[in-house]
């Protein structure tokens, strides 16, 4: 692969000219005039990081894209592959993605066959998949050595062997292969600059692997997250992917983006099993003020029928920095003293009265002590009375401390200020 012209430091005689400086600026990648429209590229390991950036660069140039990926512990590669595929298709080009271990020749051949079937052929190959086990050679285990060799070398061989015969039969194959270089260089340059803005100070010649030691390459850009969220959830509400939904909420929450708040509120009505994920997201974006009136409206509506969902919401409200409204206090009061409700729900509602209730609520909690179903519930009631007038409370505690081990411990912990 050769550039279209000599580099600034090269000379026609093959050595550096005497007048040329020893160090010059890195040459800027130049886009080739070749059109990628109607062509197909395979990018191995294209779901995340640099591979994803390369795949999107081709897609934006009109090239169909196929990429493979493997699941890795703690990396959530599968959901990210879905997002990458959606982002590629949003560029108006076809895309095919699938699980495929580059180390396995049979899997590679099957993947390439599926690419030909879905996309019509293969014009370019970017062997991006790779692993590193940095460190001193004598500390490298045989297993780690084999993983590096099998992935970085054998994997490259497997894909090249599977696609090269077809690629080399095409016209101007050499031009096409050389034409990939500017795309890769452009992606590397942009990726380096974006990460440099995050890190503040990175050598312009640092390798991507050196940078990714300091920056998590799986932090998906917000615009991509929102594109996938719109496409897979807002536009297609009947096709609900639980794992993808959890992943997007987690990422948007980490980036303090509130775009999914109203959607999470809607799920309280139609998917109560997703309540906790939505509440965690609202907490992550500090969306208490915006969500509070909407959640209250749901709780007092006829759609709020599940006790466990009520429990999840009241437990979340107890951890929020906002005091409950009169309406929520009234509901908490009703649930606390409704003996037909499960104990866990009455316990979290009792906590609301403990922190925000009136004197009448405290009196009623005291009266309910004798109705406690077991020692554990009676101990909870004792804790809820800690805001009672001290003299009256101590007298009541003195009698209750004889009602069992849990009640005795509850009294002691309140008196010690540990509850």
Known catalytic residues?
191
- Which DSSP letter does residue 124 get? E
DSSP letter at 29? P
Residues listed for the chain: 419
Q: Which residues pair with 398 in a beta bridge?
A: none
**Region for residue 123 given its phi and psi (left: phi exceeds 0; alpha: psi -120 to 50; beta: otherwise):** alpha
- DSSP assignment of 62-88 equals T-EEEEEE---TTT-HHHHHHHHHHHH
Q: Give, in order, the Cα–Cα distances in Å from 30 to each of 166, 195, 263.
A: 27, 21, 44
Name the CA radius of gyration of the chain, rounded.
31
CB 176 within 8 A of CB 36: no
Beta bridge partners of residue 126, listed in sequence order? 43
Residues 135 and 191: beta-carbon distance below 8 Å: no
Rounded Cα distance between 363 and 385, Å, is: 9
The Cα 358–Cα 343 span in angstroms is: 22
């Amino acid at each position: 692969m050769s550039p279209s012209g000599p580099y600034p430091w090269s000379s026609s005689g093959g050595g550096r000219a005497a007048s040329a400086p020893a160090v010059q600026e890195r040459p800027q990648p130049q886009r080739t005039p070749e059109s990628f429209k109607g062509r197909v590229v395979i990018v191995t390991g294209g779901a995340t990081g640099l591979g994803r950036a390369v795949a999107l660069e081709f897609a934006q140039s009109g090239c169909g894209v196929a990429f493979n990926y493997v699941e890795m512990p703690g990396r959530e590669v599968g959901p990210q592959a879905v997002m990458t595929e959606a982002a590629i298709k949003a560029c108006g080009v076809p895309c095919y993605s699938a699980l495929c271990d580059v180390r396995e020749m049979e899997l590679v051949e099957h993947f390439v066959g599926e690419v030909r079937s879905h996309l019509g052929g293969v014009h370019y190959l970017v062997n991006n998949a790779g692993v590193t086990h940095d460190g001193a050679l004598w500390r490298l285990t045989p297993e780690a050595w084999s993983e590096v060799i099998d992935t970085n070398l054998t994997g490259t061989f497997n894909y090249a062997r599977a696609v090269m015969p077809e690629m080399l039969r095409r016209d101007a194959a050499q031009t096409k292969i050389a034409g990939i270089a500017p795309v890769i260089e452009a992606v590397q340059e942009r990726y380096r600059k974006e990460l440099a803005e995050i890190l503040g100070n990175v050598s312009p010649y640092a390798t991507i692997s050196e940078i990714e030691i300091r920056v998590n390459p799986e932090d998906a850009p917000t615009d991509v997250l929102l594109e996938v969220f719109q496409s897979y959830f807002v536009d297609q509400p009947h096709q609900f992917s639980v794992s993808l939904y959890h992943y997007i909420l987690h990422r948007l929450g980490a980036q303090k983006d509130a775009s999914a708040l109203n959607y999470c509120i809607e799920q309280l009505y139609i998917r109560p099993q997703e309540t906790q994920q939505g509440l965690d997201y609202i907490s992550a974006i500090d969306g208490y003020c915006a969500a509070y009136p909407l959640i209250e409206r749901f709780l007092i509506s006829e759609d709020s029928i599940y006790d466990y969902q009520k429990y999840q919401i009241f437990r979340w409200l107890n951890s929020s920095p906002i005091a409950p409204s009169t309406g929520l206090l009234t509901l908490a009061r009703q649930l606390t003293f409704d003996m037909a409700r499960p104990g866990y729900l009455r316990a979290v509602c009792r906590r609301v009265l403990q922190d925000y209730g009136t004197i009448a609520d405290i009196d009623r909690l005291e009266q309910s002590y004798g109705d406690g179903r077991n020692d554990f519930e009676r101990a909870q009631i004792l804790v809820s009375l800690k805001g009672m007038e001290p003299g009256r409370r101590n007298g009541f505690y003195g009698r209750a401390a004889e009602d069992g081990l849990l009640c005795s411990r509850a009294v002691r912990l309140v008196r010690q200020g540990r509850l």
